[in-house]
Structure formats: structure tokens, C-alpha cells
Structure 1
């Protein structure tokens, strides 16, 4: 097995929960993301955690503000389904310089085999890069967050950031 190149510093991450109903006290998904991130070399500054409404303008504004702060990665939870109010993907995808298709593909496969079965077809989870930053959007349910964080984000975030920040 080859050694994966890694960043030898803390990774600065922003966490955005997309919801019309969640508060800091009831945001299980956002809290879970932060708990998993605390296990690896990441920092989520207090002002880099937000809850925003399910509308494209609010999501776009929040993601843009976090990217402008220079965070290494933005992780969003919620708003990735197919309901009319689910517009996270429409808000984040225009930022992408490159989409990381494997994230969504593998997330849906894992969701199918390990969590929700055929309902996984409704997930539009995505990841991509913007300049030298990573954007990851996952569903907001605790099960989906746990799955994405354990199987994809925690194992690969460091390497993703390494790849988008390395010099040619």
C-alpha cells in the first residue's frame, strides 16, 4: 500500500447546516460533523459554524463568506434531497472548479448498502473544489452524516486538502 501524502498542519473547516427548522440546540447533523472533525487535524472556529435557511441566496452567501475567509474546506449538511426546498446543490455547484464525482457516487452506494437501501437514489450529495478549497455537501440526517464522515470525510479530508493546495 502506498503512503498518502498529507497536510502537516490543522485544516481550517467551516460547517454550514441548511435548515428552516434547526437551531444550534437541535442541529444534530452539524454537531456530528464537528464531533468527527475534532478527531482529526481540523479546526472549526466558532464563527465558522452557521445555520442558514433553505434558500439558494442564503446558502450561496454563507458558502461565499466562508470561502472568502480562506478556510480549507466547507462542509454543508441538509438540503440535498429532491424536495422543492432542497436547493443546497444548486447553491454550491456553481462554486465548483472541479466536481469530485466519486464522493456522491460512493456516498450513495454506501447509503444503499449500509443505511437506507433504495431511498439512497434521492440523495444528491456532492463534493468539489473551488480554487484551493474543498466543498462537501451531504444530507443532514444523523445517519447520513455519520456515514459520510466515517467512510469518506474523515479518511480523505486531509488528502483532499493536500491535493488542492499542493504546488505543481
Structure 2
């Protein structure tokens, strides 16, 4: 069934990347650049890219900008997911989700634990979900976390996720 759904999914997905950081610039945003490179490698479009500071208002504004753009199928956020007081990506985004994909965060932490960082995986607050018929993925901002999320979870299922979100939109 899953393979059947993947075959029915649209080929090219339009994505917006949002990097949340107080310290990175466009030139030093290696995680956002990695997301972009990987999406392009899989023949997806990056229709927008934004770097915002760890401020709820900025994160929410960038998020709504993507959800309100009917050309954007997916918003990928990286950074601001830690435990520090300034890390507010999850607090900003989670209340805006119509549905949460609980499995994304769970599996991300399991893979992180087994393959990458061991018990420090308990600090990860990666989440995913749907808002306004747009798929949302929030990952930690490290290169390793972005690569793990993109390779193991996001890219293999991106078309399938978008198909599932959109399948009931056009039925009469």
C-alpha cells in the first residue's frame, strides 16, 4: 500500500527552508544550505529560504508566510530546537500544527541514539506535522542532525507525505 501511494505522489515538491539562529548568516548557514542541496539533488524545488533569529514572532511570521504561499508544499525548519531558553522553535510551531506526525520525532531520536549521539538523543525536540495543508518538519540545526533527518526520514517520504495531505483536497 505504501509503495502504491508513493507511485501516485507528485514528482516535484516545492519547499521553503527556514533556519532559526542568532549566530548564523546566509554564508555560515551550512545546515540550511545542506537542506537545499539535498532537496535539489532529489529534484525538488526550493521556492523560498529564510534565516530568522530565535524570536517567536520572527519564526511564526516566516512559518505563516510559507503556509499562506500556495506554491509551498513543505516547510523545513532547522535550529532553535534545543533546551536553552532562546530555543523557541518548537514552542512557536507546535501550537500551529493541525496534526502532528509523532513518529517523526520518535524515529529521529531512535536513529540519533543508535547511530549518532547516544543518550544525548533525549535532548532532541525534532517534530513534524501538518498546518494549512502544508507539511512541516522541524529539525535540530546541526549538520549531523539535518543530514540524518533528510537522508533517513524526510527525503524517502516527502512525496508520500505531500500526497497524503493533498489527496482529499480535490475530491468532490
Equivalent residues, number: 166
Q: So what's the TM-score if we normalise by structure 2?
A: 0.92
* Kept in 1: contact 2:80–2:140 (CA 8 A): yes
1:53 matched to which residue of 2? 53
What is the CA RMSD across the aligned residues, in angstroms? 1.3
CA deviation profile, 1:45-80 (whole Å, cap 9, x unmatched): 2xx100000011110010001111121010000011
2:153 matched to which residue of 1? 152
2:111 matched to which residue of 1? 110
Distance 2:10 2:43 in 1: 9
1:77 matched to which residue of 2? 78
* Kept in 1: contact 2:11–2:159 (CA 8 A): no
1:40 matched to which residue of 2? 42
Distance 2:138 2:26 in 1: 19
Distance 2:77 2:106 in 1: 17
Superposed structure 1 runs of 4+ greater than 3 Å apart: none
Distance 2:92 2:124 in 1: 16
Q: So what's the TM-score if we normalise by structure 1?
A: 0.95
| SS, match of residue 114 in structure 2 | helix
Q: Using the TM superposition, give the Cα deviation of residue 9 of structure 1 relative to its aligned residue in structure 2, in angstroms.
A: 3.5
* Kept in 2: contact 1:131–1:164 (CA 8 A): no
Distance 2:24 2:110 in 1: 27
Distance 1:109 1:152 in 2: 12
CA deviation profile, 1:98-126 (whole Å, cap 9, x unmatched): 10000000000011111111111001000
Consecutive unaligned residues in structure 2, runs of 5 or more: none
Q: Using the TM superposition, give the Cα deviation of residue 40 of structure 1 relative to its aligned residue in structure 2, in angstroms.
A: 1.8
Distance 1:126 1:19 in 2: 17
Q: Using the TM superposition, give the Cα deviation of residue 3 of structure 1 relative to its aligned residue in structure 2, in angstroms.
A: 1.9
2:144 matched to which residue of 1? 143
| SS, match of residue 135 in structure 1 | strand
